[in-house]
Amino acid sequence: MSWDWRYAWQIVPTLLDGVAQTFLVTLVSATIALLGGLAVAVTRWLSPAVVRAPLWLLVELTRGVPILVLLFFCFYGLPGLGLRPSAFVTGVVVLGAVYAAYCSEVYRGGLASVPPTVWDASAALGLSTFVTWTRVILPTVVRANVGALGNYVVILYKQTALLFTIGVPVLLTNAQVAGYESFRYLEPFTLAGVLYLLLNLPSVWLVRRLEKRMTRGGF
């Protein structure tokens, strides 16, 4: 089978539709991951052991079970309990929850690394607990860990390809459909791989620039 440029151009619009869906899934999932991970980390930090233990177990279970297993359980298993989430909702919630667990560990490590003098200085200045957390502690933690958090978002973006298994029309799904319809797979999957790479490179560059700006100052 030789490369067919005419066919390759014909399927570009279909693949670009998949790119748009991939961006949407990444945006929603990353928002869940970053905010959810922060909420879990802060809750574990401030709560007594009776609350921390279940959250620790939830984080470890979420990180320990393969994403594909979680996707299949939620999409194919939950209907047996009367719950029927859509493919899109299943995908973004599972990806968001998994990477929220990873991000929570990043935040937790950041909180543990805050020097005691920072807490003492905030108390000496008469800052309330809320102001200390929102204006001092959390900004410090985020700045120190923006690289790790950004890398998880980049990894999450690539993991969106797994959503083709439950029918979410991401880039890989549309490439597969194009292949099924024409019985040609060289062009769809080659173009899909190129598009994933082209979209990934700017993301990696942006994460590195943000990390440099946050940790060293300036672009």
Q: Which residues fall within 8 angstroms of residue 101, CB to CB, at 6 or more apart? A: 37, 40, 58, 59, 60, 62, 63
DSSP calls for 1-28 = ----HHHHHHHHHHHHHHHHHHHHHHHH
The per-residue pLDDT for range 169-187, each reduced to its tens digit, is 999 999 999 999 889 999 9
Assess whether pLDDT exceeds 80 at residue 98: yes
Which pLDDT belongs to residue 78?
93
Which pLDDT belongs to residue 1?
63
Cα radius of gyration rounded to whole Å, the chain: 21
Q: Which residues fall within 8 angstroms of residue 203, CB to CB, at 6 or more apart? A: 153, 154, 157
Which pLDDT belongs to residue 188?
95
As a whole number, mean pLDDT of residues 28-44 equals 97
The per-residue pLDDT for range 201-213, each reduced to its tens digit, is 988 898 888 888 8
Domains of the chain: 5-216 (1.10.3720.10)
Which pLDDT belongs to residue 90?
97
Q: Residue 108 corresponds to which tokens in the numbers above? A: 């937790």
Task: State the Cα–Cα distance between residues 164 and 153, nearest whole angstrom.
Answer: 19
Task: State the Cα–Cα distance between residues 197 and 154, nearest whole angstrom.
Answer: 11
Average pLDDT over the chain reads 92
Task: State the Cα–Cα distance between residues 113 and 106, nearest whole angstrom.
Answer: 11
Which pLDDT belongs to residue 219?
42
CA-closest candidate to residue 7, choices 151, 186, 160, 206: 186
Task: State the Cα–Cα distance between residues 97 and 30, nearest whole angstrom.
Answer: 9
Task: State the Cα–Cα distance between residues 70 and 162, nearest whole angstrom.
Answer: 11
Burial class (CB in 10 A: 0-12, 13-18, 19+), 13: exposed
As a whole number, mean pLDDT of residues 150-155 equals 94
Task: State the Cα–Cα distance between residues 57 and 111, nearest whole angstrom.
Answer: 19
